[in-house]
Amino acid sequence: MPAEQDMTMQDWVPFGRRLFDDTDSHALSRVGVIDVGSNSVRMVVFDGAARSPAYFYNEKIMCALGAGVGQTGRLNPEGRKRALAAIKRFQLLGQSMGLPTLSAVATAAVRDAEDGPAFCQDVLEATGLKIWIIDGKEEARLSAQGVLLGWPGSYGLVCDIGGSSMELAEIRDGRVGNRVTSNLGPLKLQSVKGGKKGRKAHIKQVLEQLAAEMGPQRDRLFLVGGSWRAIARIDMERRGYPLHVQHEYRMSAKSVRETADYIASHDPENLRAACGVSSARMSLVPLAIEVLKRLVRTFKPKDIAVSSYGIREGMLYEQMPQELRDRDPLIEACRFAEAKDARLPGFGATLFEFVYPLFKSAGPARLRIVEAACLLHDVSWRAHPDYRAETCFDNATRANLGGLKHSERVFLGLALLHRYRNRREGTHFEELYDLIDPESQKQAEILGKALRFGAMFWMQNDAEFGKFRWFPRKRELELLIPKAAEPLFGEVAQARLASLAASLEAEVRVRLI
Closest to 63 (Cα-Cα) out of 229, 230, 280, 278: 280
**Tens-digit pLDDT profile for residues 453-497:** 999 887 666 667 789 999 999 999 999 998 888 888 999 999 999
Strand, coil or helix: what is 215? coil
Q: How many residues are recorded in the chain?
A: 513
Closest to 161 (Cα-Cα) out of 234, 250, 224: 224
Write down the pLDDT at residue 100.
83
Helices 311-319 and 136-150: crossing angle in degrees, nearest 10, is 80
Which of 21 and 26 is assigned the larger pLDDT?
Answer: 26
Residues 6+ apart with CB under 8 A from 138: 9
Locate the domains of the chain by residue range.
3-134, 137-312, 328-512
- Please tell me the number of Cα atoms within 13 Å of 91 on its side-chain side: 16
**Tens-digit pLDDT profile for residues 129-146:** 999 999 999 999 999 999
From CA 349, how far away is CA 320, in angstroms rounded? 25
Q: Sheet with 467-471: list strands edge to edge.
A: 467-471, 476-481, 507-512
Write down the pLDDT at residue 7.
32
Prediction pTM value: 0.91
Strand, coil or helix: what is 296? helix
**Tens-digit pLDDT profile for residues 28-60:** 888 999 999 999 999 999 998 989 999 999 999
Q: Chain centroid to CA 176: how far? A: 19
Q: How far is CA 133 from CA 5, 58, 72, 116, in A?
A: 7, 21, 20, 9
Helix (H) or strand (E) holding 172: strand 166-172
**Distant-in-sequence contacts of 439-443, Cβ < 8 A, 24+ apart:** 440/407, 440/411, 441/414, 442/503, 443/359, 443/366, 443/411
Which of 462 and 265 is assigned the larger pLDDT?
Answer: 265
Pairing of strands 156-161, 131-133: unpaired
- Please tell me the number of Cα atoms within 13 Å of 385 on its side-chain side: 0
Mean pLDDT over 264-279 rounds to 95
Which of 91 and 17 is assigned the larger pLDDT?
Answer: 91
Rounded to the nearest 5 degrees, what angle is found at the Cα of 401, between the Cα atoms of 398 and 403?
125
Closest to 222 (Cα-Cα) out of 140, 163, 278: 140
Same fold, 137-312 and 328-512: no
The correct answer on CATH 3.30.420.150 for the domain covering 137-312 is yes
* CATH code linked to domain 3-134: 3.30.420.40
Least confident span in 12-21, 113-122, 211-220, 380-389: 12-21
Write down the pLDDT at residue 28.
86
Write down the pLDDT at residue 399.
86
Mean pLDDT over 412-419 rounds to 97
Share of the chain above pLDDT 90, in %: 84
Question: Of 3.40.50.970, 2.20.25.650, 1.10.3210.10, 1.10.10.10, which CATH number belongs to 328-512?
Answer: 1.10.3210.10
